Amino acid sequence: MKTTGRFVAIALAIALTLAGCTDDGDPSGDPTGPSGGTAGTGATAPTGPTGTISVPPGSTVYRYVNAGLVATLDLDAATLEIRNETGSDLKKPDFYVLDARDGTQVEGRVVEPAEIPAGQTATFAVELEGIEAGNIGLVVLLVGQDNLGAFVQQ
């Protein structure tokens, strides 16, 4: 990765980390989130509203929401749930994290990844080794060869 790319990745990781350190004091979030699917088995029918996930500070739950795609990565539960309402089938998911200390990329692993048909929700088991949760600066969603961008810590 070029020096400029590393600088941007580190700056983004720092900005997201600092943004996650604020508390607006509004506990009225909807604790319900998307559900459905079985680890590693592919797609099932979508259930539940998009809603807000309410978790304690320092959580290892990350969420990506964009253009009909909702992905929730829960590192404590070792799951990645993807709801595909994009209107197109999605290729196999994957992810990586950047170490907040130095920007080092640490590869995550989706166990038995599978394509996700349009209108379906799938839950996969995940593995992440080589980094402590407190050192995660940024989590990035991959679908097929496409880098879709960063998750937001919940």
Answer whether residue 21 shows pLDDT above 80.
no
Tokens of 63: 């969420």
Mean pLDDT of the chain, nearest integer: 78
Torsion 139-49-46-67 (CA) sign: negative
Cα separation of 115 and 111, whole Å?
Answer: 13
pLDDT, tens only, 27-45: 444 444 343 433 344 444 4
pLDDT tens digits, 82-122: 999 999 999 999 999 999 999 999 999 999 999 999 999 99
Burial 8-47 (b: 16+ CB within 10 A, else e): ebbebbeebeeeeeeeeeeeeeeeebbebbebbebbeebe
Distance CA(65)–CA(60), nearest Å, equals 17
